[in-house]
Amino acid sequence: FMMHQGAQPMYFSKDTLDVAVGKEKTFKEFFGAVRGLNRDQVNSVTLNPQNWGEHERTLNSKIEETQKEVTTALIDNFNTPKVLLLLQELVTAANIYMTTAGAQTKSLLVHKAAMYIAKTFRTLGIDDNATEYPFASSTGGGGDQELLSEVLDAFCGFREDVRQAARSNQEPGWFQAKVSDLESGLLAELRSKIKSKAALLPAVLEAFEAWTSKIKNTAQSQGAKSEYLELCDSVRDDALPLLGVRLEDKPEGFLWKLDDPEVLARERATKMAAAAEAAKKKVENKLNKAKKELEKWEVSAVAPSEMFKALTDKYKTFDDQGMPTHAADGTELSKKQRQGVEKDFKKREAEHAKFLEQEAKEAGFLGKLKAEIKAMEDSLAAM
């Protein structure tokens, strides 16, 4: 309802609802990022310097400016569309700050922005879910959020270790030792903590253990580094979303967020459909290019001496080279017509010479090109 002022009619078309869903996603992902930042800095915020630089002062000025402008917009006949725009701009500024500051991000400052946005939403009656930030996922640990965070931190942290180790070409022994330490240490400890806990916690730990076993098996079979990276991708894209966990790889580490499994499933389906469409388009473009290339070679495969003889509707008599001298009605070609024929003949000579050169390099290349086209057509039909 924030997209419309109170005195104006509200429209519930599909396009309007899609826009609303997109805006909600923007805020939801921002709050998820802030939760992740708070988790990362919960123990270090009192140990690390919190002095502000230019980037911090810029964001703080944006927060204060937004607070004033939101108040003005609400006084202006409850101009909620303006309020929504201002809050989106604050989210953009905070995201830019977090990206720019990286590991030096001041979580308390970002928390300040997030809390103001949360307060504004709740003042307007939006998503009072009794958590610190709005739009929290219904997926949760049944009151065991701290333990759930511990499990997910360990799970995603181990995945990050595997990903980096695979990229740096670690030996299989490294992975085996890592799994062994994990199984006898952290996993055993987490397993004892999670007994009789909410349903999600055992499910996350079960997925953690299953994925750890896959890493162990890959190491024992001397798997290539690409196999470890594929396992890292599959757990991010397939396993964790089923549990309501969105995992994002960052330039420095990772960020996990809790989300609705159904939302993640829809996003996954949309992403896969887009990827399938892109793959189909790629094959179509490659097929069209191959067909044009085949057409060019098939034309140049015909020798200059034969190219005019097939045109019986245009020509009747030919000289020793195969160039026409008389039209189909028996009349002799004019000088201008003869010049045009000679020009086409010379052009074909050059094209045919290239064809013969290519055939000498790769015998039967036309047949191979036709086979490739047939394979692409079959692939396209199966998509």
Confidence category of residue 8, pLDDT binned at 50, 70, 90: low
Q: Is the pLDDT of residue 71 over 70?
A: yes
Q: List beta partners, residue 315.
A: 327
CA distance 74 to 51: 34
Q: Where are the beta strands (DSSP E) in the chain?
A: 245-249, 254-258, 315-318, 324-327
Whether residue 251 is predicted with pLDDT greater than 50 in this model: the reply is yes
For 337-351, the pLDDT digits (tens) are: 999 999 999 999 999
Section 255-275 average pLDDT: 87
Percent of the chain beyond pLDDT 90?
A: 54
Q: What is the pLDDT of residues 144-202, one digit of tens each?
A: 677 888 888 889 999 999 999 999 999 999 999 999 999 888 888 888 777 655 556 78
State the average pLDDT over residues 67-78. Answer: 90
In this prediction, residues 7-28 reach a mean pLDDT of 73
How confident is the model over 259-270, as a mean pLDDT? 86
**pLDDT of 332 over the 70 cut:** yes
- φ/ψ of 233, rounded to 5, equals -70, -40
CB 230, CB 162: distance < 8 Å: no
Whole-number Å distance between alpha carbons of 23 and 313: 66
Nearest 5°: phi and psi at 256? -110, 150
Q: First-to-last CA distance in the chain?
A: 41
Mean pLDDT value across residues 94-123: 89
Asked whether 105 and 37 are in contact (CB, 8 A), the reply is yes
Q: How confident is the model at residue 266 (pLDDT cuts 50, 70, 90)?
A: confident
Q: What are phi and psi of 255, to 5 degrees?
A: -145, 125
∠ Cα 228 244 139 (to 5°): 150
Residues 6+ apart with CB under 8 A from 85: none
> Per-residue pLDDT for 307 more than 80?
yes
Paired with 248 in beta bridges are 255
Tokens 């725009």 locate to 85
The contacts of residue 284 (CB under 8 Å, 6+ apart) are: 380
Global confidence as pTM: 0.56
Q: Which of 12-21, 25-34, 99-108, 167-176 has the highest mean pLDDT?
A: 167-176
| Token pair of 43 as six digits | 């123990």
> What local confidence, expressed as pLDDT, does residue 188 receive?
84
Q: 133-151: per-residue pLDDT in tens?
A: 766 654 444 446 778 888 8
Distance CA 273, CA 339 (A): 56
Q: How would you classify the pairing of strands 315-318 and 245-249?
A: unpaired
pLDDT of residue 11: 62
The helix/strand/coil state of 53 is coil
| Cβ–Cβ < 8 Å for 304, 352 | yes
pLDDT above 70: residue 43: no
For 253, the token pair is: 């580490």
pLDDT in tens, 281-294: 999 999 999 999 99
By C-alpha distance, which of 58, 121, 131, 132 is closest to 88? 121
